[in-house]
Amino acid sequence: MKSNYSELGIYIREVNKRNSDLTISKLLGVSMEKTFIPSVANLNGVDLSIYKVLRKGQLACKLMSVGRDEKLPVDLYNESEPAIISSAYYVFEPKDKDVLLPEYLMMWLCRPENDRYIGFISGGDVRGGISWETFCSLPIKVPSINKQREIVKEYNVIQNRIALNQQLIQTLEETAQAIYKQWFVEGIDLENLPEGWEIGTVADLCEYSTKRVSINEISLDNYISTENMLQNRSGIVQANSLPINGSVTNFEVGNILISNIRPYFKKIWHANFNGGCSNDVLCFTPRENVPPLYLYQILEKDNFFEYVMAGSKGTKMPRGDKKWIMNYETVIPKNELLEKFSKTTYIFQKHIQLRKSENQKLAELKDLLLSKLATIEN
């Protein structure tokens, strides 16, 4: 144990309250990105009375496979109404919130150094998991409660700004989507298209990027693989590792990236910076006069991902067929309307890119703050 560090178990206690009266039905899980997500488990015939109750100010984590994944799925619950979570998770809280703030505890567990340490100590377990006792032996540095409040306040300023930007991005994307639906979907009869319109394929709108970039020219900040793309159109996070050598597909601002492994996860991202992506990520480059936002509206739809799955290969880890994907049928409006859509949504696109770029820098600032927790003095 490093000097001025203590064991985590000194400050936390496990909470094992069950949903025995079946009064709670909100079921959650924790993602690898350390956020609570609605559970997608089939609950038919499931006894919810054995699920653990999760209340505001409590944390939940799963200790299975943390070595294999080198990440601890953990999050702090902040909702007023309680939820339930699988018994595979541990629910815990600070023993004394005047000694250790739940928010500071969550920050400490979010540190990349913490993930790496857990991955290291789990090496003896075949499945890469650790016990609750081992988890409680993790080192933690706990400054004075006043110092914790200062740190948490600074962290929340960054978090709130990121959330505000994300809300604006969502609003702008929804507005662009509404315009797309109004102009290109609603009232359109496929048997009697407007003059100048035609039925085409995705190949008429874009092509796969064939450009390559050397590994030496990319970094963790601009490398995209299926591992750091988020499910359900939620964007990306920073990569954890880079290929050892060689080159990868080059992508540019305005390109649309889709994970080609397990397409049903709907991992799609509209690039707001240049970089490189792995072979498991498809990079769609819009053709001349095709607005990137128009192409994105087509590729992000459930119908498109269902089509990709219909032509995928493999069962355990299905992979989309690149030729099949390009044959996806879609309406091609006349060029004048596409140009009008491009001009109308240009300001949306500009602000979306600015907000995404700002969030990228804020995320780096947040990571820097987390990394400095180990050097904080009282």
Say which residue, 295 or 122, is predicted with more confidence: 295
CA dihedral 82, 84, 89, 91 (to 10 degrees): 20
- CA separation (Å) from 164 to 229, 286, 348? 21, 29, 16
pLDDT per position as a tens digit, 299-353: 999 999 999 999 999 888 899 999 999 999 999 999 899 989 888 888 888 888 8
Predicted confidence at residue 125, as pLDDT, reads 54
Distance CA 83, CA 277 (A): 38
Predicted local distance difference test score (pLDDT) of residue 1: 46
Distance CA 166, CA 164 (A): 5
* Element at 249 (helix H, strand E): strand 247-251
What local confidence, expressed as pLDDT, does residue 191 receive? Answer: 85
Radius of gyration of the chain (CA): 23
Model confidence at 45, in pLDDT bands (50, 70, 90)? Answer: confident
pLDDT in tens, 66-108: 767 678 899 999 999 999 999 999 999 999 999 999 999 999 9
Q: Stretch 192-220: mean pLDDT, rounded?
A: 94
CA gap 273, 356 in Å, rounded: 9
Structure tokens at 51: 């699920």
Strands (E), 104-147: 139-140
31 falls in which pLDDT band (50, 70, 90)?
Answer: confident
> In the chain, what is the straight-line distance between the N-terminal and C-terminal CA atoms, in Å?
19
List the one residue out of 155, 139, 158 whose CA is nearest residue 147: 155
Superfamily of domain 163-349: DNA methylase specificity domains (3.90.220.20)
Q: At what angle do helices 292-299 and 145-184 cross, to 10 degrees?
A: 90
What is the pLDDT averaged over residues 276-294?
A: 93
Q: Where are the beta strands (DSSP E) in 46-132?
A: 52-54, 59-61, 74-76, 83-85, 90-94
CA distance 344 to 338: 10
pLDDT confidence of residue 231: 84
Judged by DSSP in three states, 38 sits in strand
Helix axes 102-109, 145-184, angle to 10 degrees: 70
Q: How far apart are CA 156 and CA 80, in angstroms?
A: 19
When mean pLDDT is compared across 56-60, 329-333, 352-356, the lowest value belongs to 352-356
Token code pair at residue 261: 């492994």
Checking if the pLDDT of 3 tops 60, the result is no
| Over residues 157-177, mean pLDDT | 92
CB-based burial of residue 235 (10 Å sphere; 0-12 exposed, 13-18 middle, 19+ buried)? middle
Per-residue pLDDT, 79: 95
Separation CA 15–CA 31 (nearest Å): 20
Sign for the CA dihedral angle at 258, 67, 32, 218 comes to negative
Q: Where in the chain is the domain with CATH 3.90.220.20?
A: 6-142, 163-349
Write down the mean pLDDT value for the chain: 90
DSSP strand pairing (198-201 vs 74-76): unpaired
Classify 57 in phi/psi space as left (phi over 0), alpha (psi -120 to 50) or beta.
left
Q: Please give the torsion angle defined by the CA atoms of residues 239, 243, 248 and 251, in that order, rounded to the nearest 10 degrees.
A: 10
CB atoms within 10 A of CB 6: 14
**Span 120-148, average pLDDT:** 86
CA distance 89 to 348: 41
Long-range contacts of 149-152 (CB under 8 A, 24+ apart): 149/101, 151/104, 151/107, 151/369, 151/373, 151/376, 152/101, 152/103, 152/104, 152/107
Once rounded to an integer, what is the mean pLDDT over residues 278-295?
A: 93
* Fold designation for 6-142: Adenine-n6-DNA-methyltransferase TaqI; Chain A, domain 2 (3.90.220)
User: Taking the CB of residue 255, how many other CB atoms lie within 10 A of it?
Assistant: 25
Output the pTM of the full model.
0.74
